[in-house]
């Protein structure tokens, strides 16, 4: 069995402790690392944890479970994939954060892996995926840490909730069955849904805006029947550099509360081009929130009709 060992590194203009903390807090990974779709904790101890990660590799959505050991004193995090996705037979590694000064640090990312049956083509595929993802992760980590103290007004989250007199399963099914949305939702012109791995979906849609124009979006979705669907949009409109979110379905004494949550980072470079030279960040926030809320509320409204008709 042949193991491959590789290392990538980057210099970050931020204190080592702050960089370590960002890597340690996996809940933020979909916002920080482009390939990451969603991360869940399976177990959490003082310095040991098991996490489930859904991410893209060479354009394909994959998921795996990893064990991590956190060492905040030495600013090291070791990880090992507990269950790897083919063609990976085994994958482990280490994050090492080294102080260069009070305001700068070096981040080293080490990987140790092998391919199933030591297949040469599979190993080449893994080499390319590890190299591409490592470079993307480190570049994104650098950008996000260095921007951490920039204006918070370009990053925001919001949520819309609809109370439904029905079953959580029926509401969940409506959102989960996005392949039927072109028939069920007026604002969806066409849709393509793939789910090669159960619970991991690729969703492409052509949606109609209020002005009649259509635009194409692509998202990866992770489903947790019948209470939650998390997603990350990977083709973004001009006004956003990030869009993640989740749908939740919570049963209560009046039926089910169905919610759509969004987290957005604005692309300030495009505000003037899209909204005009006088437009402000506040204008862009309002525009984006209105556009996303309109679609979410429309979807929740039709999900409400669907679930209540089942009663």
State mean pLDDT over 232-251: 94
Which tokens is 53 given? 């990660």
How many angstroms separate the CA atoms of 273 and 113, rounded?
46
Is the pLDDT at 311 greater than 90, yes or no? no
What are the pLDDT digits (tens) for 77-103?
A: 999 998 888 999 999 999 999 999 999
The beta strands (E) that lie in 238-287 are given as: 240-252, 255-266
State residue 150's pLDDT score.
58
What are the pLDDT digits (tens) for 68-80?
A: 999 999 999 999 9
Nearest to 266 by CA among 292, 231, 296, 246: 292
Please check whether residue 221 is in contact with residue 198, taking contact to mean a CB–CB distance below 8 angstroms: no
The mean pLDDT value of the chain amounts to: 92
Q: pTM for the full model?
A: 0.82
Is the pLDDT at 126 greater than 90, yes or no? yes
- Lowest-confidence range among 49-63, 76-90, 260-274? 49-63
Confidence of residue 59 (pLDDT cuts 50, 70, 90): confident
User: Which residue bears the tokens 């085994």?
Assistant: 90
State mean pLDDT over 96-120: 96
- Lowest-confidence range among 23-37, 242-256, 288-302? 23-37
State mean pLDDT over 140-159: 79
Is the pLDDT at 186 greater than 60, yes or no? yes
Q: How does DSSP classify residue 73?
A: T
CA distances from 245 to 105, 187, 226, 272 (A): 31, 19, 17, 26
How many angstroms separate the CA atoms of 295 and 188, rounded?
9
How many angstroms separate the CA atoms of 189 and 201, rounded?
19
Q: What are the φ and ψ backbone dihedral angles of 280, each rounded to 5 degrees?
A: -105, 175
| Helix, strand, coil % over all residues of the chain, rounded to 5 | 35, 45, 20
How many angstroms separate the CA atoms of 200 and 180, rounded?
17
State residue 152's pLDDT score.
66
Is the pLDDT at 151 greater than 60, yes or no? no
Is the pLDDT at 149 greater than 60, yes or no? no
């Amino acid at each position: 069995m042949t193991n491959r060992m590789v290392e990538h590194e980057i210099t970050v203009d931020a204190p080592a402790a702050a960089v370590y903390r960002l890597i340690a807090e996996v809940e933020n990974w979909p916002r920080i690392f482009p390939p990451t779709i969603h991360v869940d904790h399976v177990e959490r101890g003082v310095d040991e944890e098991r996490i489930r990660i859904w991410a893209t590799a060479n354009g394909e959505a994959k998921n795996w479970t990893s064990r991590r050991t956190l060492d905040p004193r030495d600013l090291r995090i070791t990880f090992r994939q507990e269950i790897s996705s083919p063609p990976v037979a085994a994958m482990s590694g280490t994050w090492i954060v080294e102080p260069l000064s009070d305001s700068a640090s070096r981040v080293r990312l080490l990987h140790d892996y092998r391919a199933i049956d030591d297949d040469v083509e599979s190993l080449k595929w893994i080499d390319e995926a590890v190299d591409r993802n490592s470079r993307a992760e480190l570049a994104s980590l650098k950008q996000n840490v260095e921007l951490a103290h920039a204006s918070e007004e370009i990053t925001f989250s919001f949520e819309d909730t609809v109370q439904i007199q029905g079953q959580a399963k029926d509401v969940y099914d409506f959102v989960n069955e996005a392949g039927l949305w072109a028939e069920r939702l007026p604002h969806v012109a066409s849709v393509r849904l793939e789910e090669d791995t159960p619970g991991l979906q690729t969703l492409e849609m052509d949606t109609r805006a209020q002005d009649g124009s259509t635009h194409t979006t692509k998202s990866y979705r992770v489903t947790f029947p019948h209470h939650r669907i998390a997603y990350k949009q990977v083709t973004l409109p001009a006004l956003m550099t990030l869009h993640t979110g989740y749908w939740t379905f919570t049963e209560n004494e009046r039926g089910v509360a169905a919610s759509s949550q969004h987290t957005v980072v604005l692309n300030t470079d495009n505000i003037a081009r899209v909204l005009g030279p006088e437009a402000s960040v506040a204008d862009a926030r309002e525009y984006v929130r209105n556009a996303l809320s309109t679609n979410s509320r429309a979807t929740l409204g039709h999900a409400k009709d669907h679930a209540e008709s089942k009663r």
